[in-house]
Amino acid sequence: MRRLLLTLCLATAAYATTFQDCGSVGSGVALTVEGCQTSPCQLHLGQSANVSIQFTASQASRSLTVHVTADIYGVEVPWPGLDTDACHHTTCPYADGDHVDWAMTVEVSKHYPLISTKATFKLVDGGGQSQVCALVDVRLVPALPSFYLHHHDNIQ
């Protein structure tokens, strides 16, 4: 059993995305943006990104709220179109010390500017505490050509 747990922890660490903690009260925070192994994460306009966060809760809560913002030319702008009820993407309520796994798909609008920025991901509990606060360097880049997407899908 210990070997399985160690293997799972190492696998998670191997695929975790580089981020800066910005005040998480939860412990063992890991954030993964699918396909992002190096910083900055390249997010293609008009496509989506699968994001997952794991943490150990510092206190019990019946609710969990998602806040995602991007620094756009010095202004923190909420990421539009997100379901802010994190309990739709994980199990609530949770107890103090529970391991929480949250995951959702984030849409990257084709209308966003082509910029490098920091995205802030927060998971805030019912008491207003940021169980997770993670800053991720991202670069918004042009969409991949459709022929690449179809070819890439056929390879997998």
Question: Looking at residue 53, which CATH number applies to its domain?
Answer: 2.60.40.770
Task: Give the DSSP letter of residue 37.
Answer: -
Residues ≥6 apart with Cβ < 8 Å to 44:
108, 141, 142, 143, 144
Phi-psi bin for 81: left (phi > 0), alpha (psi -120 to 50), beta?
A: left
Work out how many domains the chain is built from and give that number.
1
pTM > 0.85: yes or no:
no
Alpha-carbon span 38 to 36, nearest angstrom? 6
| pLDDT bracket for residue 16 (50, 70, 90) | confident
Please provide the average confidence, as pLDDT, over all residues in the chain.
87
Of 27, 33, 98, 28, residue with least CA distance to 61: 98
* Greatest mean pLDDT among 9-13, 99-103, 109-113: 99-103
Query: Residue 111: which domain range?
Result: 2-155
